[in-house]
Amino acid sequence: MDDVTLQKTIRLPLAVAVAVAREAKEYGFEEADYLAHLIAQAVTPTLHNINPDAAKQVEAEAAIKMKAIDLARELCPAGAPAAAFADVTLRVFQRIRTDPALQSIYLQAIGNRPGDERGNPLKARLNRTLGASIKTAVDGRPQKVGGNPVKIQVSGEYIFSFTPLEPSSDAQ
């Protein structure tokens, strides 16, 4: 399935927007990604009828997001020291790469292509979403130097770089 990102404006009543924000935070999603997750869940039965392969890929993407959120919270639980935040994104991706069950789900989510491949738009979008979900799940914020987020390059992983995190001011 070719990856195309569709952006739409959704107008929500204030009470619904507040509820979405609360649920998104509870489940470890950014608000927009949580709405996308809910929409994907709602249309997956229809998608199975019109494009079963795409439906399986969407289901795998949802499953790996939930596993990444759970792993992030396991690796960096509430009240964890600041040091636990720094490489939590890398550690989550390492677990995905080294756990055969998680690896299988991840590879299906990126179109059954190699996990270390560059130039896969499914992988690029999913990895950005996973990084954002990990940050939200642990209530972290990007480490910055001179006002710019720090980027650490890595090799031999399913990600090529990551931004170290630190506890958000709310978490301290």
**pLDDT, tens digit, for every residue of 28-48?**
888 888 898 999 999 999 999
What gap in Å lies between CA 123 and CA 8, rounded to an integer? 22
Interval 105-118 mean pLDDT: 89
pLDDT tier, 27 (very low <50, low <70, confident <90, very high otherwise): confident
Query: Which domain does 135 fall in, by range?
Result: 14-167
Interval 140-161 mean pLDDT: 92
In a domain, 61, yes or no: yes
Burial of 165 (0-12, 13-18, 19+ CB in 10 A): buried
Domain count, the chain: 1
Number of other CB atoms surrounding residue 1 within 10 Å? 12
In a domain, 1, yes or no: no
**pLDDT, tens digit, for every residue of 57-87?**
999 999 999 999 999 999 999 888 888 899 9
pLDDT tier, 3 (very low <50, low <70, confident <90, very high otherwise): low
pLDDT at 172: 44
In a domain, 5, yes or no: no
In a domain, 4, yes or no: no
**Which pTM was predicted?**
0.85
Number of other CB atoms surrounding residue 61 within 10 Å? 23
In a domain, 6, yes or no: no
Tokens found for residue 155 = 């090799």
In a domain, 172, yes or no: no
Mean pLDDT rounded to a whole number for the chain: 89
What gap in Å lies between CA 67 and CA 71, rounded to an integer? 6
Contact (Cβ atoms closer than 8 angstroms) between residue 152 and residue 162 = yes
In a domain, 89, yes or no: yes
DSSP class per residue in 43-62: HHHHHHHH-HHHHHHHHHHH
Tokens found for residue 37 = 């997750």
What gap in Å lies between CA 125 and CA 148, rounded to an integer? 22
**pLDDT, tens digit, for every residue of 155-168?**
989 999 999 999 98
| 3-class DSSP assignment, residue 21 | helix
In a domain, 158, yes or no: yes
16 pLDDT higher than 70: yes
